[in-house]
Structure 1
Amino acid sequence: MEENKEFLMKASELFLENGAKTLTMDDISRSFGISKKTLYVKYKNKEELIEAVLHFKLEEIITRLRYLETQIENAVERMFCRDEQIDNVADSNNSILIKQLIKYYPAIFNKHMREFSEKFSEVMIHNIEKGRSQGYYRTNFDAEVYAKIFFQLIMSLESSPFIDVSSIDKNNYKHETMNLYMNAITTEKGKEILKKINY
């Protein structure tokens, strides 16, 4: 199990550096010092390996999100806790890997993003439930829909046909998106916490 984790960790680095299309099974087998035949025993084709790598990276991110959720008791404060790993996820939306996945492996990319959305939404729904129990979030909205809206807003900046990304500050975009979302879901009690965080 640990051996497979190390393999996927290194394979994910190779894909991030080189892209999904550019990196070949020959390149991967050479990097690991194994024969292509041995590699094909582990994964029947490159598509299967790409899916395994994406799933591995997703689990890493979701594990981190769940850990942070347990570390910060106040639900509102948790939403404003910056985490480098999570920031990197949103920023990686413009990486060579993602660009090549969209172009050459759209079915794999779409499946991955749906899975990412589902798992990310679960974490967000947990935060909403916690915030409601603390009196910080309203109860009269659909938690699942709002979680998905937030995910869509955060993840779609680079691929938006409506926004010129060269003319917008990404950090400011993320901050304003967070404020939009939080102002939409917080009670007056929650908004008091928001004021302390934003000033």
Structure 2
Amino acid sequence: MDQVFLEKVSALFIDNGAKTLTMDDIAREFGMSKKTLYQKYANKESLLEDVLTYQLELVIAKLNKLDEEVQNAIERMFCRDEHIENAVRSNNSLLIRQLIRYYPMIFTKHMRKFSEKFSDVMVNNVERGREQGYYRTNFDAKIYAKIFFQLIMSYHSSPMLDTSEYPFSEYKDEVMMMYMNAITTEKGKKYLEKYTQ
């Protein structure tokens, strides 16, 4: 199926949820027979996986584009990234809640893929920051990226965090500063000062 199809089906899953939306609903929405839909997708699970992959590729492409536009590694980390914020907010959506409950293997597979791709973006930032002298060289960039991802993405699901006490914007800023203070050199910390005032 093409990109337009995946975009429209994504919207249907986001609006209706992973469990609630049926293959009948999708076929009807596109004016096709169920048989035609099942020729393309053997079941709803395979369609869900394609939709999640499609959405992930969009997010990662936008992150990579921003990396190309902002050369300074520290400045790049502080660019307002609406795509990551939307991904975190979507973690509390009907689609995600139903994925967790009814399709836990698909959800886990998706989150691992997301973590890998997001970590690659973060590792590229670390490599650039090291070349610029802003980031330390004595830490494992991939592990730090996964820790950062885990902290950001667990905002809505952590049993240890009262989200009514800490709005997401404040939480995200604190996680960012913790991460940046952990990876920056003295030169990087001086540059970082403009973001702490």
1:161 and 1:83 map into 2 onto residues whose CA distance is 25
The aligned residue for residue 3 of structure 2 is 5
Q: Secondary structure at the match of 1:141?
A: coil
Q: Secondary structure at the match of 2:55?
A: helix
162, 165, 169: which one pairs with 1:167?
Answer: 165
Higher mean alpha-carbon deviation, 82-91 vs 20-29, is at 82-91
The aligned residue for residue 157 of structure 1 is 155
Deviation for aligned residue 1:197: 2.3
Structure 1 runs, 4 residues or longer, greater than 4 Å off: none
Q: Secondary structure at the match of 1:166?
A: coil
Number of residues paired by the alignment? 197
Deviation for aligned residue 1:87: 1.3
105, 113, 129: which one pairs with 1:107?
Answer: 105
Which residue identity does 1:195 align to in structure 2? Answer: E
> Between the two proteins, what is the percent identity of the paired residues?
63
Q: Secondary structure at the match of 1:123?
A: helix
In the alignment, structure 1 residue 24 sits paired with structure 2 residue 22: yes
1:39 and 1:26 map into 2 onto residues whose CA distance is 9
The aligned residue for residue 193 of structure 2 is 195
- Length-normalised TM-score, structure 2: 0.98
Deviation for aligned residue 1:164: 1.6
2:140 and 2:83 map into 1 onto residues whose CA distance is 28
Which residue identity does 2:122 align to in structure 1? Answer: M
Which residue identity does 1:66 align to in structure 2? Answer: N
115, 118, 135: which one pairs with 2:116?
Answer: 118
2:71 and 2:196 map into 1 onto residues whose CA distance is 19
The aligned residue for residue 71 of structure 2 is 73
Task: Note the alpha carbon deviations across 1:25-52, whole angstroms, 9 max, x for none.
Answer: 1111111111111111110100000000
Which residue identity does 1:23 align to in structure 2? Answer: L
Q: Secondary structure at the match of 1:167?
A: coil
2:123 and 2:110 map into 1 onto residues whose CA distance is 20
1:18 and 1:193 map into 2 onto residues whose CA distance is 45
1:93 and 1:99 map into 2 onto residues whose CA distance is 7
Deviation for aligned residue 1:86: 2.3
Which residue identity does 2:10 align to in structure 1? Answer: S
Task: Note the alpha carbon deviations across 1:119-153, whole angstroms, 9 max, x for none.
Answer: 10000000000000000000011111101000001
The aligned residue for residue 50 of structure 1 is 48
Q: Secondary structure at the match of 1:165?
A: coil
Higher mean alpha-carbon deviation, 52-61 vs 156-165, is at 156-165
In the alignment, structure 1 residue 40 sits paired with structure 2 residue 38: yes
1:135 and 1:28 map into 2 onto residues whose CA distance is 52
Which residue identity does 2:68 align to in structure 1? Answer: T
The aligned residue for residue 136 of structure 1 is 134
Task: Note the alpha carbon deviations across 1:94-136, whole angstroms, 9 max, x for none.
Answer: 0000000000000000000001001100000000000000000
Q: What do you get for the CA RMSD once the two structures are aligned?
A: 0.9
